[in-house]
Amino acid sequence: MGKTFHKILSCVILILLCFLLTVPRLGKSAERNEECLKQEVISFFYCDYDNDGNEELLTVEADSLEQFTEEGKPYGNRICVYEDYSFDSNGSLIPGTVQYTKDKSALKPLRIHAGDINGDGITEIGIVTYKMTQFHPVMAERPFFYAIDGDNLVKVWLGSRLSRPFKDFTLNDIDGDGIDEIVAIEYLEDKREVFAVYDWQGFGFDMKCQSEPYGDISFTHDRHRKCDKLTVLADVEGILELSADETHVTVKKGELDK
Ligand SMILES: [Ca+2]
Ligand SMILES: [Ca+2]
Ligand SMILES: [Ca+2]
C-alpha cells in the first residue's frame, strides 16, 4: 500500500514538474492582457491617441458589475489602452493587446473619451470620475483630463465641476478651430436644460456660450468615437445638429431628419 502510494505521489510530482517546465512563462504584455481581460468593460472609446495612424481602444474596466453611483451608474477600477481590437460573430467587442493599464479605483471612473482640449496636438484622455473634491465635498461626476506619457497618466485638468450641474458632456470641435471644446448639457435652476460650450483658457475651461433652454435634451451621435457633427435630441424636434461660434450655440435640423 505504502509503495503504491509513493509511486502515485512520484508520478503526480513528475507530471506537475513537466507541466511547469513546458508551459511558457507569460510575458509582461500577456500578464497585462490577463489582468485587463478578466474585467468588465464599463466604457470604451476608439481613437488614435498617439497620432501614429493606428486607432487604439481606450476602456474603463471594472472588477465586478456591482459598483454603482447613487444614480445607479456603474463605475470601474482600471483604465486600459489596447493597441488593437476586433469583434466576435455577435458583434461584441474583443480588446486586443494591452498597451497600457492603470489602476484608478480611487477615481471611480464611469466613462472614457478623448480629444485635444488645449490645441497642443496631443490627445488628452477624458475620464468622468465619481468623487468628492476639497471644495465640493459631495459625491458627484467630475471631468478629469490626462495625457498618457509612457506608463504615467499626467494630469492636465482635474475639473471640480462645470458652471452648473450637468446631465452629460462630450468633446467636440464645435466651432471648427481645430481644438475640442467641452459641450455639456446642463440644468438651469428651473430644471430646464441647455447646451453649454467651454473653451480651454490656458489653465482651465471657461464657458463661452450656451443655447436656448429646452425641456429635455440628449446627445445622439456615436459616443464611442470622435464625430464631425454633434447630433442631439431636444424636446420633440427630432434629430438636430449642434454648432457654435464665439457667442452662440446654434441648434438646427439635422441631416438624419430631412
Ligand atoms: Ca495610435
Ligand atoms: Ca492636447
Ligand atoms: Ca474648437
Ligand nearest to the CA of 122: 2
CA 196 – ligand 1 centroid, Å: 30
Q: What's the pLDDT tens digit per position in 180-200?
A: 999 999 999 999 999 999 999
CA 165 – ligand 2 centroid, Å: 25
Look at residue 78 and tell me whether its pLDDT is greater than 80.
yes
Read off the pTM: 0.81
CA 114 – ligand 3 centroid, Å: 14
SS3 label, residue 87: strand
Residues with CB under 5 A from ligand 2 (ion): 116, 118, 120, 122, 124
- For the purposes of burial, counting CB atoms within 10 Å of the CB of 149, is it exposed (0-12), middle (13-18) or buried (19 or more)? exposed
CA 81 – ligand 1 centroid, Å: 10
Per the model's pLDDT, the better-predicted residue between 180 and 30 turns out to be 180
The DSSP secondary structure of 185-222, one letter per residue, reads: EEE-TTS-EEEEEEEE-SSSEEEEEE---BSSEEE-S-
Containing H/E element for 19? helix 2-22
Ligand nearest to the CA of 179: 3
Q: What's the pLDDT tens digit per position in 215-234?
A: 999 999 999 999 988 999 99
